[in-house]
Every structure is written in structure tokens, then in C-alpha cells.
Amino acid sequence: MSTPAAPGQTLAQKLIARAAGVASVQPGEIVTCKVDMAMFHDSSGPRRLKPMLEALGAQIWDKSRVVLVMDHYVPERDDESRQIVRIARDWAREQHLPHVYDSQGICHVVVAQQGHIRPGMFCVGGDSHSPTGGAFGAYMFGIGSTEMLGVMVTGGIWLRVPRTVRMCWDGRLTPGVCAKDMMLHMIARFGMNGGQYQAVEFCGPAVQALAMNERMTLSNMSAELGAQAGLIAPDATTLAWLAAQAAQAEKIDKKVAPAQAERAQAAIKSIADINQWQTDAAALDSPDCITHRFDAAALEPVVAAPHSPANAQAVSAFAGTAIDVAYIGACTGAKLDDLRAAAQVLRGRRVASGVRLMVAPASLRDQEAARDEGVLQILQDAGAELFPTACGACAGFGDTLGDHTTVISSTARNFKGRMGSATAQVYLGSPYTVAASALHGKITDPREELA
């Protein structure tokens, strides 16, 4: 009598099984996983963790696996911000944390650019958009301060193994359509709880054709689908990007370059093993692995109306809506490729009279690269105001929106009051759409400017 074949494993199951130290796991099973990297920022980290650790008399389990990013309350604009950032800086010095990035950019972009996320890892973050790490074939998700305390002390966290929902995109995107449009389309179809406590895996030819910055946008906004993680299987594109970031570090900062180069080399050495971080064909028949298919070639630019990313339709549904502000910022909409997209639309043009174009690059590294390429000059010549490389208005800090303002933004969320006044009307779109709308002072299909 033959032995039945072992059931296939999804990418999510493989990553969790590795972290749990077992051969395989099944959806619904509860396991304890070892954490490879824990990230938190000035808002979610020291001001909450410091007193709890002191009350327990506990120490950090492994400081080499902890990353702290100051991105929410910088640059400090008031006494509260100064106090919060001071707590973070003082605690980082007291603890001798080796990986601290102060005012370098938004955490989800910075940790990736600094080589802290690699294929096969299991990571947690003190921010809801931590699933960004899934773009690199790592299992990464957001947790609260109490859970982070447990990780800080023990280096582990329990997890109920989720089901997998595969979002398979066939074909290729057309010019002027990008990952942000893909995400808004999926959120409109499935809602903000469409991936509730599930691992979403983005796959198919259109996803494989995306650059890493675009893949990061997909994984980031799996949070808006309600998923725990947003995964993309690693490939040569993943490893090439990590190597390029290490090379860039050498140009920027000789001190961090050796450590980042070592992390990049660790990723590159895994090239022979990245094939293991793929969903098994045998798993596709499981009722715990559902696949939805989409045609990338048929996708149009998508815009989400106030006050939810799920209020999304083709841009034509909102075309002509007058705007006051166009905002290109956040971890979903101001990485280097996003700035390039906006510059492609705005080259040699000026924004409409009365429209304020705000540009807040996602990181200092992206900002300097955009400056070197001439992308930043194109945006500023078009009338853009340059803002700090921080979470800024996306998280309701810094220069926020005033009363009764209508804005189109490249951010991930448009909840009422999130970007400032509760009376502000925030529409979401891709950097292409935001730039085209800035040109005309009204929501505009970017394909009209790229024809």
C-alpha cells in the first residue's frame, strides 16, 4: 500500500514553518515562531516599550535583531514631538542599539533599503503597514506594543497559521497604470476585510514584471485588505535590488556599508535556495488556498473616494472633481519609482493655478537618487513644494490639510481626519494620477498626459 503524498505548502506556510522550526504547518494550527527582525518607530517604540521593560526588569533578547526608525514625529514641530523623539533617542543610546535610523525616511522603506529584510525571514513591525516586508519573500506583519514587548523579551511570538488567498495577475499593465491601481482595484472588489487574518500572496506574470518599489506597494497595502501578510515570492529581481541597495550604501555612508553589504551577500548566497520560497503546486488544490485571477492589461487607473480605500472606481467616475492639493508622499506613493512616474507626467509643465503640489519623498536615499537623476528638479520646476522624508501628512503630522480642502493623494488611506481636518475630502490615486490631476486642478486620467 503506497504512502499518500505529503500535502503541499503555500509560501506563507513554508515561511512560518521555518520560523517555528518544523517541517510543515497547516492553517488553523497555532505555533510559536522565532523572530528574525523586529522593527518599531518613534511613535510605536521606546515611549511605550521602555516603561514596560523597566517594570518587568527585563532586557532585550537580541539587540542585533532590533531596528528603530524615527519617522513619525520628525522633524519635531512642537513640545510633544520633541519629547517623544527625545525619549527614542535617549533610549537608543542607553540600550546601545546598533540599528537606528533617525530622520532617514519612512520605516517600511528604510528597513528594506538598509538590507534588514531578506527572503525566508520572519519579521514583525510596530506599524500596521509592516506587511511591506512580504515583497521580499519574508513573512512580516504588524503587532501592537504589548505583543512587541513579548518579542523584545523572548524573541518569539505565537501565530495561528492563516489560510492563503492568491491574487494572480495575468498579462501586463499598460502605461500610466501601476501597483497602486492594482491594490485599489482589489480593495474595491474584496473590501477592507477581504483578507481578514489571511496571508495574501500576489503572483502572476504582471506581478513578476513589477520592480521592487512597486512590489512593496502591493505588500504594504495588503493591510488595507485586512490581511495579516502580503507576500511575493522572491526571484532574481529581489536579489538584484538588495545588491543594488548595498552598493548605494557604500556611496552614501562608508560606516554602514560593510554591515549592509554583509546582509546583501547573505541574501545573494540564498539565490540557489529562493526556489524553495514558492507555493507548491500541490497546495493549489487545498480549500485553504484560494486563487483569484485578474487581467492586468484591462486595468484602468483607479481612484478611491472619501473616506475609505474601498470606495474605489475607475478614474473616469471621478474625472473633473476639482482639487486644492495634490500630495505625493508616504510609503505607498513617494518611493523613487513613484517620483519618476510623477516626473514623467509633469516634465516641462506647471501645475494648475491655485493647486498646491506637495512632495515628501519616502526616504533620503530616494530623494538623493531623484535629485541625481534630475527627477526632483522636474517636480520643483512644475511647482512642487518639497517636504521632509517622513510620514508627514499621511499620518497626520507636520503640514496637514486644512478645513474643507479637497486633495488627491498617493497615500494608502483616506480615513476622515487622518491627514488633518475632518472636513477635508481625500481621494486616493497613483503618483501618475496625482501628478496629472495637479496639472489640471481636477481629477484627471493620467493616460491623457502620457499619450
Does the residue 248 lie in any domain? Answer: no
Residue 328 lies in a domain: yes
- pLDDT digits (tens), the chain, 451 positions: 333 345 799 999 999 999 999 999 999 999 999 999 999 999 999 999 999 999 999 999 999 999 999 999 999 989 999 999 999 999 999 999 999 999 999 999 999 999 999 999 999 999 999 999 999 999 999 999 999 999 999 999 999 999 999 999 999 999 999 999 999 999 999 999 876 779 999 999 999 999 999 999 999 999 999 999 999 999 999 999 988 888 877 666 666 666 766 766 665 565 557 889 999 999 999 999 999 999 999 999 999 999 999 999 999 999 999 999 999 999 999 999 999 999 999 999 999 999 999 999 999 999 999 999 999 999 999 999 999 998 888 877 766 778 889 999 999 998 887 888 888 899 999 999 999 999 999 999 999 999 7
Quote the distance between the C-alpha of residue 150 and its chain's center. Answer: 24
CATH at 360 = 3.30.499.10
Same domain (yes/no): 291, 305: no
In a domain, 224, yes or no: yes
* 319 plus 219 within the same structural domain: no
CB 363 within 8 A of CB 389: yes
Distance CA 409, CA 435 (A): 10
Do 294 and 306 lie in a common domain? no
Interacting residues of 198 by C-beta distance below 8 A, sequence separation 6+: 162, 163, 164, 165, 227, 228
How many domains would you assign to the chain?
2
Tell me the helix, strand and coil percentages in the chain, rounded to 5.
40, 20, 40
Same domain, 294 and 219: yes
Q: Are residues 312 and 412 in the same domain?
A: yes
CA-closest candidate to residue 96, choices 56, 68, 54, 70: 68
Q: Judge if 325 and 288 occupy the same domain.
A: no
Residues 283 and 332 occupy one common structural domain: no
Domain end among 299, 329, 353: 299
Asked, for residue 58, whether it belongs to a domain, the answer is no
Q: How far apart are CA 178 and CA 164, in angstroms?
A: 24
**228 and 316 inside one domain:** no
Residue 193: inside a domain: yes
Boundary residue ending a domain (299, 331, 352): 299
- Which pLDDT value is given to residue 251? 67
Pair (292, 405) in one structural domain = no
What pLDDT does 250 receive?
66
Within a domain: 48: no
In a domain, residue 36? The reply is: no
* Residues 284 and 325 placed together within one structural domain of the fold: no
Residue 125 pairs in a beta bridge with 39, 142
Q: Are residues 285 and 352 in the same domain?
A: no
37: helix, strand or coil: strand
**Phi, psi values for residue 156, rounded to 5°:** -140, 170
| Structural domain of 338 | 301-450
DSSP 420-444: B-TT-EEEE--HHHHHHHHHHTB--
Of the candidates 268, 299, 330, which is a domain's last residue?
299
Q: How far apart are CA 418 and CA 420, in angstroms?
A: 6
Cis bond before residue 307 (omega within 30° of 0) = yes
Residue 443 and residue 314 in one domain: yes
Which CATH number belongs to the domain containing residue 289 in this structure?
A: 3.40.1060.10
In a domain, 85, yes or no: no
